[in-house]
Amino acid sequence: MSSASRRPGGPHRDRRGRGMRGRLVPATVPLARSRSQIFDDMVLDAVEELESRWAAQLRGVEFAVEDVPPELPSYDSDVLEDGSVPLARLLPGRDGPRGRGVPPRIVVYRRPLEARAMDREDLADLVHDVIVEQVANLLGLDPDEIDPT
């Protein structure tokens, strides 16, 4: 292709004619967020809501998200399951080396929860319920005491 046949100001195409590559949506638009980022936000929203009421009891508790649960031969009673599929797991704190303790951790599994939700609103409710259940388990309280709504 000679320089005379190029259209001035036209869209740039690479040598195979594929055109522009990259993001189609700016990063500031909600469509640019991935499913995992949206799920992380749902977990953060649920945790922030609980921390507003239970800040002292949840101080030092870590919350984590993993895509899928690990394959373990059997799970302890600290795992919230739907049938035989883990949805979340509570790892209680323990004393670590040199007097440093390992804080308690609540791990939420994204893919099993997404598979059980009908839509985004249902997923947000399910995430909230799972986190409430695990916090209640950690504090030794009834889930209705943790979140009366």
In a domain, 105, yes or no: yes
pLDDT of residue 20: 61
> What are the CA-CA distances from residue 77 to residues 88, 132, 134, 147 (Å)?
11, 16, 11, 22
**130: CATH:** 3.30.2010.20
7 belongs to a structural domain: no
Is 28 a domain residue?
no
Q: Residue with structure tokens 């590559």?
A: 21
Q: What is the pLDDT of residues 46-100, one digit of tens each?
A: 999 999 999 999 999 999 999 998 886 566 667 777 778 899 999 887 776 666 7
- 126 domain-assigned: yes
- Percent of the chain predicted with pLDDT > 70: 72
Number of domains in the chain: 1
Contacts of 90 (CB under 8 A, 6+ apart): 78, 79, 80, 104, 105, 106, 107, 134, 137, 138
Query: If you average pLDDT over every residue of the chain, what do you get?
Result: 83
pLDDT at 126: 96
Q: Which of 2-11, 100-109, 132-141: highest mean pLDDT?
A: 132-141
Task: Give domain status of residue 2, yes or no.
Answer: no
pLDDT of residue 70: 86
Is residue 91 within a helix (H) or strand (E), and if so which, with residue range?
Answer: strand 85-91
- Asked if the structure places residue 43 within a domain, the reply is no
Quote the percentage of the chain above a pLDDT of 90: 52
Q: What is the pLDDT of residue 98?
A: 67
Model confidence, pTM: 0.75
Assigned domain for 116 exists: yes
Contacts of residues 74-82 at CB distance under 8 Å and 24 or more positions apart, as own/partner, are 78/137, 80/130, 80/133, 80/134, 80/137, 82/112, 82/116
Edge-to-edge strands, sheet with 85-91? 62-66, 105-109, 85-91, 79-82
Radius of gyration of the chain (CA): 23
Q: For residue 37, tell me if it sits in a domain.
A: no
pLDDT in tens, 13-44: 566 666 666 666 666 666 667 889 999 999 99
Residue 75 belongs to what domain range? 53-139
In what helix (H) or strand (E) does residue 85 lie, and over which residues does it extend? strand 85-91
